[in-house]
Structure 1
Amino acid sequence: MKVLCILAVLFLISTKHKSFELSHPKPACRYPPSQWCRSLEIAIECKVRALAPNQTVPRVALTLYYESLCPDCRRFITKQLFPTWTMLQDIMSLTLVPYGNAKEVLSVNSPFSCQHGEPECRGNMIQACIIHLTGTSLAFQVIYCMESAANVLNAAEPCLQLYAPSVSWAAVDACVTGRLGYKLMHGYAVMTRALNPAHTHVPWVTIDGVFIFPLKMKPPVCTGAPVKLSRSGCLTE
């Protein structure tokens, strides 16, 4: 039931936003998705239904394999996953893997090559270090802030200061430029290579270890057409 709930919300949000530009669509109510469950009054106005989570049932493990500069990944994070997580984080266990179509290479300058170039490698490692230093819950808010910005890399430091002020940018930079950042990225490389079936594009989503995105069929509780992504610029080369 929890899996169906998460899939339903992903579908309802995706079919609601028929345009996938990075600019924010006009909401159905006066509040953004992150505020829908702030109070009963807001929930009523935005027509949100919420159920108290059953603590005896394990959380649904959702893992997102993505790249920091991939346009389709940015759209999925900002328009589908973050609003879904905001409403259903009590029943979700989220894992973020900022690696995607990157490759480990033998190079003096950098042990990784990324589909969208060196800036994406840096963006991936910044987000990996933020996840390590803050934990997934705070990190996802920082990452959402970054991916919503016009320039992902330039937004990293102000987004960190906004959502995780207890973590210094110096600590993130030390992680990125030191051995820890490379160790974290190697771990993500191992996780990505272990996918079965192997990923063919990003964003790549698994629920409880099973690949589900893009969805081939709708859950029974959903209505509307399945989401379709252009995947422009994010196919495995």
Structure 2
Amino acid sequence: MKFVPLLLVAVWLSCHSCSSTWSSPSCSSPPSRWCSSLDSAIRCGVVKQCLESNFTKSRMTDDTVKVELYYESLCGGCRGFLAGMLYPTLVMLQDIMTVTLVPFGNAVEKPDGAKYIFECQHGEEECLGNMIEACLLNMSPSAIDIIFCMESSSDVIKSAESCFNIYETELSWGKIMSCVNGDAGNHLMHLNAVKTNALDPPHEYVPWITINGEHTEELQDKAMASLFTLVCNMYKGPKPGVCGGDKRHYKSYCHRE
């Protein structure tokens, strides 16, 4: 995200009403892209918020906390952690953490000529879900938003296209399915298999979580209990306000008339 600060300030001052809400009817971009450009920030009515976020990021000079999730698309525990813990934490702490998703989990791959065949713990539908999510992660900047939508729905596979259409405005669903059904998807899933099988220590279950490349039972338990608290505690830079870093106190009241 790169803005010209003086230009943004000028726009904000001349269009302060744009920053009074978090989006506007003319906004067609998913939240992850609201601050991607000045035009997008204006259309979505978040110029002020993007300015504040950019200022906050400029102060975050230390390395982010790197969270990797090894999972499979139809695993109940994986879905619960991704939708109920990982995604909300990322929304709140995106300035101090990065997230890598590796959909493969307890699957097994077998060579088949120049390609691979995959057998998944929860059957062929899970293999399809893993493949869709692998292609999304490779092709769409809104992949994590789409995957959250899929994994929090009642049916991961059936919701995939509608979730995609909510968050992705530039790619077509057909391109994602071309990846899923073609050599690209097969190669991406192979890479996920290699990465999963290279874990040290080897994964024993999913969801399997690493923090800054490390997995211990203590880190796993803390991440499962409160990933938000864990990331705030592990970040070595100045704590953002949401972590309690600036000790803000809000004393605004709505009095009875």
Aligned pair partner of 2:70 in 65, 68, 72: 65
Could you tell me which residue of structure 1 aligns to residue 221 of structure 2? 214
- Aligned length, in residue pairs: 173
**Are the equivalent residues in 1 in contact too, given 2:73–2:130 (CA < 8 A)?**
yes
Is 2:109 the counterpart of 1:113?
Answer: no
Give the SS at the match of 2:94: helix
- Return the TM-score normalized by structure 2: 0.62
Could you tell me which residue of structure 2 aligns to residue 101 of structure 1? 106
Could you tell me which residue of structure 2 aligns to residue 233 of structure 1? none
Distance 1:215 1:202 in 2: 15
Q: Which runs of 5+ in 1 are unaligned?
A: 1-33, 40-50, 223-237
Is 2:159 the counterpart of 1:155?
Answer: yes
Give the SS at the match of 2:165: helix
Q: Which has the larger radius of gyration?
A: 2
Could you tell me which residue of structure 1 aligns to residue 83 of structure 2? 78
Over 3 Å counting, the alpha-carbon distance change for 1:218 and 1:158 in structure 2 is: closer
Q: Identity of aligned pairs, percent?
A: 45
Aligned pair partner of 1:124 in 113, 122, 130: 130
Is 2:194 the counterpart of 1:190?
Answer: yes
Normalized per residue, which structure has more helix? 2
The amino acid that maps onto 1:133 is M
Distance 2:136 2:183 in 1: 15
- Return the TM-score normalized by structure 1: 0.67
**Are the equivalent residues in 2 in contact too, given 1:146–1:156 (CA < 8 A)?**
yes
Q: Which runs of 5+ in 2 are unaligned?
A: 1-30, 32-44, 47-54, 230-257
Could you tell me which residue of structure 1 aligns to residue 150 of structure 2? 146
RMSD between aligned residues: 2.8
Shift of 1:216: 9.1
What is the correspondence of 1:1-20 to structure 2 with a 5 Å cutoff? none
Is 2:210 the counterpart of 1:203?
Answer: no
The amino acid that maps onto 1:215 is K
Q: Which has the higher contact order (CA 8 A, sep 6+)?
A: 1
